[in-house]
Structure 1
């Protein structure tokens, strides 16, 4: 027997497992080198991993749910240019993240990358992991509420009856629980669902574009505004999520290649699919004032109604709602895997429970923790739609803050990634990381001044983001700094 020589801090090892190299799948080689014993079956193909990121981005759902934000603030022209300019920068960010993902294809994603690249500052990894996990749960919760809002809009369009906030919150609970059940079934179900989502997105975009362009009266773009920065808000909300492929890296074959390809490919595909859908929406707007004054639960329903009438509006809402369901399920897939990764490294309490897998290879404690938090947050909608929406908009800011950590390290410590994976940027690595850093930094802190539909949202958004940061900081001071010292290696290699 030969002891695995890559333990950076042997005294930190809590659980050591002896294994042999015999019959080890090539997909697990890098995971073994990183010190982790393979626990998940590798059942995801490229299409499945790519679908995970597509689900998380949710191009139809993100565009539909946040379209009115860019429309009201930046106008059609600002929204159009905001989308394209922002997509370029998000593609560069995806390249930056994909390069790191190829070196460290583990389900910890952003959290693990920060820990490995800056091991002398464990607080950075701890805070990145916690902020990102909270953002993922918030994202799933927002998606599940959006499903309820789409259903409520269908009821109002089809039957003329407006649902109460309590009824909408109850439907959000049902969708949260459904997300938990699907995630409990495990990797195969998620992989098949994410593959289906790719085709649904492509087919749904085609249906929506054709329906809107053929049936709507021609109007063109009425706004002459060129508020491109405000158009970024909708684009950022829509395009976040490409890194989710990393959360299933330990469940994918050839993850060191497939995961980074999925990260980059999901942004490239979403850019062009989103552009086609956006153009159809912009040319279909009959009256911005009508969309602003809508009584429907979600404003995009008014745009559909004005353009194509009640029957086709229901069809459009069904197409988007189904896509939203898969996107929301994927957010809880990612959060449960991140809880697993944090627990594995003593960065999350109740380690044994959150690392437990059921017979479907699902980390079910993390799944149902996400569902529980989602149900609690959904109740906020009953009291205040403004407070709830602002709180969930903080999820987008939290994701960008999580992106910022590994990119900062790559910019200011260029040698922090000594082991390059098969996907790497070569001489373009530092320039791409630097441009990505500038965009994330400037946009994240600029959002603190402009992200809002009205003057009241911003105060709530600052409070929500500040609350997340305070909670994570307190958790580090009172518990994390005593229990977390970095990634815990769980394997000894033998011959």
Structure 2
């Protein structure tokens, strides 16, 4: 049973962990981050009402959790590594207006999840929320599928980020040429995999060993991103070696001749670019048990980050389009990474171009660390309720590092194994990013659908209730989810071959089949879901709000 699974920690381990948390969380006899209104204590008490003991240190403030959310999206980096999709499927219109459209949709998704998270702020995230919001007779299987989708989405998005960094690095190296048109780095499958392997190990080591310093790294990433983006746009617009495009081209050019799809559908296929960069929206929920006031801080961070990222994305993309080289040439690139070619054509110098790639490469590594951290938390939370085979190993928190180290290692091994797909298909990155977007979108949709189905009763208890606006956001989120699942299973372009096929459909179908089969083989009998009842949580939530109000008065 779930609560039995959670209780498998030995008394000695629990005691050691309590001492460790007190040592980390206190300073001069006072708990760090403990505000006068008792926000940290209230969060721990609400978590206890949800059926869990607080095991992780609540060290993150609102800005720090917002910075981490920004880092996991890493808009300049995310938009860089996936720019190939809209280049093939529509060009400037797909790039700019696709980004604006998807950002507005994801803002609705963030608002919808924020409402629910303000009532159920736990590392279990959408999986826990789905259980609490679903009808009692279906909540076990619904939360099971949602939880597996959330875990798979976290792992595959992290994989896509690290693999994208490897591919981008290879493309950056090839701005240096051994002869005209021939880069210095062959980019063989084994070479890219080894780079990906090294990046994955680095991200996991940093996340595991440097957990207490990660908020500082996230803060650094904000300034680093600003400096890098400013350097890139100033240099490419000032030099513009091959000239500049006019505004009508930048905001109105739509060319689908490279995709093979009908024009309308081609535009939508190209939206994977924007959807990938915003797919991490709900991953930050997994950090709720490390945030001082998760019921208010996490919803604000999710919504605020989307607004900030939308603006940052426009600032980054528009200058690139003003120096856009021939679209057909970019679509034909074997690397699938057009940004290095765009910047080199504008700068005219391999060395100068590579210098401008460094901010993006560093941001890619920081993004990988953030996603690694979030993926480990959601894996740990799902194992905590006994839903992952061998959960007794994966539900432990390392008392010295204050991280779920075993769950992190499980996530890492799965990523490294899935990365082997690249040896069989050069479109593997498309599959990784597609599966990540699809599964995360599905997991976000489940609690939203459940909330709408029961009349949005529970979200009215939250501190982030949006009223009629929330209902509108819910329906936008649901309709987007219905579009995403078939859309991002499509290949980037036609005709389809074995090497260019989008294997996201295969991986997604496999995930659905395996998770459902495992539920009926093992989960139906053994899995009980979170160790609490919805009514208990709502009562604790009301008590927490009353206590908070009295303390303020």
Query: 1:219 matched to which residue of 2?
Result: 245
Query: 2-side partners of 1:336 and 1:247: how far apart?
Result: 9
- Whether 2:493 is the aligned partner of 1:467: answer no
- 2:485 is aligned to 444
2:217 corresponds to: 193
**Inter-partner Cα distance in structure 1 for 2:331 and 2:2:** 60
What do residues 308-337 of structure 1 show as CA deviations (whole Å, max 9, x unaligned)? 222232123211111111111222211211
1:250-285 residue CA offsets vs partner (Å, 9 max, x unmatched): 001111111111111111111110011111111121
Q: Say yes or no: does 1:264 pair with 2:324.
A: no
Write the deviation string for residues 441-467 of structure 1: whole angstroms up to 9, x where unpaired: 233334445655763445522212111
Tell me if the contact between 2:117 and 2:295 (Cα under 8 Å) persists in the aligned partners: yes
Instruction: Give the equivalent residue in structure 2 for 1:126.
Output: 144
Distance 1:142 1:250 in 2: 26
Separation (CA, whole Å) in 1 of partners of 2:221 and 2:339: 21
In structure 2, relative to structure 1, the CA distance for the partners of 1:459 and 1:236 (3 Å cut) is closer
Match of 2:291 in 1: 252
Q: Which of 449, 462, 486 is residue 421 of structure 1 equivalent to?
A: 462
- Residue 54, structure 1, aligned to residue 95, structure 2: no
- Structure-2 change in CA distance of 1:486 and 1:451 (3 Å): farther
Change in 2 beyond 3 A, CA 1:489/1:39: farther
Alignment of 1:276 onto 2:307: no
Which residues of structure 2 form unaligned runs of 5+?
16-30, 32-37, 178-182, 256-262, 541-553
**Length-normalised TM-score, structure 2:** 0.81
Deviates further, 385-394 or 422-431? 385-394
Which range moves more in the overlay, 274-283 or 480-489?
A: 480-489
Aligned pair partner of 2:446 in 384, 392, 405:
405
The answer on whether the counterparts of 1:114 and 1:406 sit within 8 Å (CA) in structure 2 is yes
Structure 1 gaps, min length 5: 1-8
| Corresponding position: 1:317 with 2:340 | no
Match of 1:6 in 2: none
Equivalent pair of 1:94/1:242 in contact (CA under 8 Å): yes
Question: Out of 347, 355, 369, which is 1:308 matched to?
Answer: 347
Instruction: Kindly report which structure 2 residues correspond to 1:11-410, keeping only aligned pairs within 5 A, or say none.
Output: 15=7, 25-118=41-134, 120=136, 121-158=139-176, 160-163=183-186, 164-185=188-209, 187-216=211-240, 217-220=243-246, 221=249, 223-225=253-255, 227=264, 228-296=267-335, 298-309=337-348, 310-358=350-398, 359-410=400-451
Say whether residues 1:484 and 2:484 are aligned partners: no
Provide the secondary structure at the position in 2 that maps to 1:424: coil
Give the Cα separation in 2 of the matches to 1:208 and 1:319. Answer: 9
8 Å Cα contact 1:380/1:387 also seen in 2: yes
Q: Alpha-carbon deviation of 1:433? A: 0.9
Contact map agreement 2:123 2:289 (CA 8 A) in 1: yes
Q: Which moved more, 1:194-203 or 1:80-89?
A: 194-203
| CA RMSD, 1 decimal | 2.9
* Counterpart contact for 2:128–2:530, Cα < 8 Å: yes
CA 1:311/1:99 → structure 2, altered by over 3 Å: closer, same or farther? Answer: same
- 1:186/1:246 Cα in 2 relative to 1: closer, same or farther (>3 Å)? farther
Q: How many matched pairs?
A: 484
Specify whether residues 77 and 144 from structure 1 end up closer, same or farther in structure 2 by C-alpha distance, changes over 3 A only: same
Structure 1 residues 387, 273: CA separation in 2 closer, same or farther (over 3 Å shift)? closer
Q: What is the CA distance between 1:382 and its match in structure 2?
A: 2.8
- Distance in 1 (CA, whole Å) between partners of 2:268 and 2:42 is 46
